[in-house]
A and B are shown apart, each in its own frame.
Chain A
Amino acid sequence: EAGVAQSPRYKIIEKRQSVAFWCNPISGHATLYWYQQILGQGPKLLIQFQNNGVVDDSQLPKDRFSAERLKGVDSTLKIQPAKLEDSAVYLCASSSTVVQETQYFGPGTRLLVL
């Protein structure tokens, strides 16, 4: 079974530029998550989708971050404009809709904002 795919793996941009990350979840997983992991911290949930609807985006900085999952499969997370403090690893995870099911994570995208 293929795992969660993410691209790119690394990205370096200057502040005020925009950037987009892509995620393809495990086949058949209806729930998709984007997490931000700042160096030295645990992952923090940014947004959760169930199919193509948003379930929780309470910690997403909506003035600069946006995410979509138009067809209920793959997803894109965008930052525009980027700030220095956005430097982090962006992790995508997926799971089935069963509440106790495990979230499986992709390899992440490491973003450096200069």
Chain B
Amino acid sequence: AQSVAQPEDQVNVAEGNPLTVKCTYSVSGNPYLFWYVQYPNRGLQFLLKYITGDNLVKGSYGFEAEFNKSQTSFHLKKPSALVSDSALYFCAVRDMNTGFQKLVFGTGTRLLVSP
């Protein structure tokens, strides 16, 4: 069964500094990997996904993520954080080899960007 780990409950970073939110995954086959962001009292907003091809994926709002197959990781990054990036971030994985499109989510990482 697929699973996702987000080892940090919270990440603190100063505005203008680079940020990284960590994610590792486990699947039996090849993964589809996703990042979503959740603002208070809102649903999940799609940021980016890795399906195949280039290991560096660029997404919305200046975010990017790097797929590393040997380390089974898919860390979310941004070169320069904004206060408005403060939110809850979820990593999710789908096993490419299953017939269903079931997404399994991590527990989330709260990002706090200070002015």
- Give residues in A with beta carbon < 8 Å to B: 4, 6, 31, 40-45, 48, 55-56, 91, 93, 95, 99-108, 110
Contacts and interface: CB of A to CB of B under 8 A. Distances in A.
Contacts of B46: 102-105
Bin chain B's interface residue count.
20 to 34
A32 B105 CA distance: 17
Contact of B105 (A42, A48, A56, A102): A42
Contacts of A45: 102-104
Given A56-B100, A102-B34, A102-B49, A44 B105 contact: yes
Contacts of A95: 101
A104 B60 CA distance: 14
B106 A48 contact: no
A82 B106 CA distance: 26
Contacts of A6: 43
A105 B32 CA distance: 18
B11 interface: no
Given A41-B108, A99-B96, A102-B34, 12 more contacts: A40-B107, A42-B108, A44-B105, A45-B103, A45-B104, A48-B100, A100-B96, A101-B101, A103-B46, A105-B44, A107-B43, A108-B43
Contact of A105 (B43, B51, B96): B43
Interface string B69-112: 00000000000000000000010100010001111111110000
Given A100-B51, A102-B49, A43 B44 contact: yes
Given A42-B108, A43-B90, A106 B101 contact: no
Contacts of A99: 32, 96, 101
Contacts of A31: 101
Contacts of B12: none
Contacts of B55: none
Interface string B41-54: 11111100101000
